[in-house]
Structure 1
Amino acid sequence: MVPIISTEAISREFHVGKDVVHALKDININIEAKTLTILKGRSGSGKTTLINILGGLDKPSSGKLVFDGEEITKLTLNKIDNIRRKHMGFIFQSFALISLMSAFENVEFALKIAGYSYSEAKKRAEECLELVGLTKRMHHRPQEMSGGEQQRVAIARAIAHNPRIIFADEPTAELDSHNAVLVMKLFRDLVEKEGITIVMTTHDPNMMELGDCVITLEDGLVIEEKQNELFKGEANNGSM
Structure 2
Amino acid sequence: MDVILRTEELYRDFKIGDGSVVSALKNVNIEIEKGKLTVLRGRSGSGKTTLINILGALDRPTKGKVMFDGKDITKLSEGARDNLRRHDMAFVFQSVALMSGMNAFENVSFGLRLAKYPYDKRDERTRECLAAVGLDKRMTHRPSEMSGGEQQRVAIARAIAHEPRLIFADEPTAELDTNTALHIVKLFKELVAKQNMTIIMTTHDPSMMDVADKVYTLEDGEIVG
Normalised by the length of structure 2, the TM-score is: 0.98
Q: Which residue of 2 aligns with 1:12?
A: 12
Q: Which amino acid aligns with 1:72?
A: I
The 5-angstrom pairing of residues 207-222 of structure 1 reads 207-222=208-223
CA deviation profile, 1:15-40 (whole Å, cap 9, x unmatched)? 00211110000101100100000000
Show structure 1 runs of 5+ residues with no match. Answer: 225-240
Q: Which residue of 2 aligns with 1:122?
A: 123
Q: Which residue of 1 aligns with 2:144?
A: 143
TM-fit CA distance, 1:117: 4.2
Provide the C-alpha distance between the structure 1 equivalents of 2:120 and 2:5, rounded to a whole number of angstroms: 33
Q: Which residue of 1 aligns with 2:100?
A: 99
CA deviation profile, 1:33-76 (whole Å, cap 9, x unmatched)? 00000000000000110011000011000001100111111111
Q: Which residue of 2 aligns with 1:88?
A: 89
Q: Which residue of 2 aligns with 1:204?
A: 205
Provide the C-alpha distance between the structure 2 equivalents of 1:6 and 1:212, rounded to a whole number of angstroms: 16
Q: Which residue of 1 aligns with 2:178?
A: 177
Normalised by the length of structure 1, the TM-score is: 0.92
SS at structure 2 position matched to 1:135: coil
CA deviation profile, 1:152-192 (whole Å, cap 9, x unmatched)? 00000000000011000000001111110110110001111
Q: Which amino acid aligns with 2:90?
A: G
SS at structure 1 position matched to 2:137: helix
Q: Which residue of 2 aligns with 1:234?
A: none
TM-fit CA distance, 1:114: 1.5
CA deviation profile, 1:69-112 (whole Å, cap 9, x unmatched)? 11111111111111111110100000100000000000001111
Provide the C-alpha distance between the structure 2 equivalents of 1:108 and 1:48, rounded to a whole number of angstroms: 27
Provide the C-alpha distance between the structure 2 equivalents of 1:82 and 1:151, rounded to a whole number of angstroms: 25
1:68 aligned onto 2:64: no
Percent of pairs with identical residues: 61
Q: Which residue of 2 aligns with 1:42?
A: 43
1:53 aligned onto 2:51: no
Q: How many correspondences in the alignment? A: 224
TM-fit CA distance, 1:116: 2.8
1:3 aligned onto 2:3: yes
Show structure 2 runs of 5+ residues with no match. Answer: none
TM-fit CA distance, 1:135: 0.5
Superposed CA RMSD in Å reads: 0.8
CA deviation profile, 1:181-213 (whole Å, cap 9, x unmatched)? 110110001111100000010000111100001
Q: Which residue of 1 aligns with 2:28?
A: 27
Provide the C-alpha distance between the structure 1 equivalents of 2:2 and 2:72, rounded to a whole number of angstroms: 14
The ranges of structure 1 where at least 4 consecutive aligned residues each deviate by more than 6 angstroms after the TM superposition are none
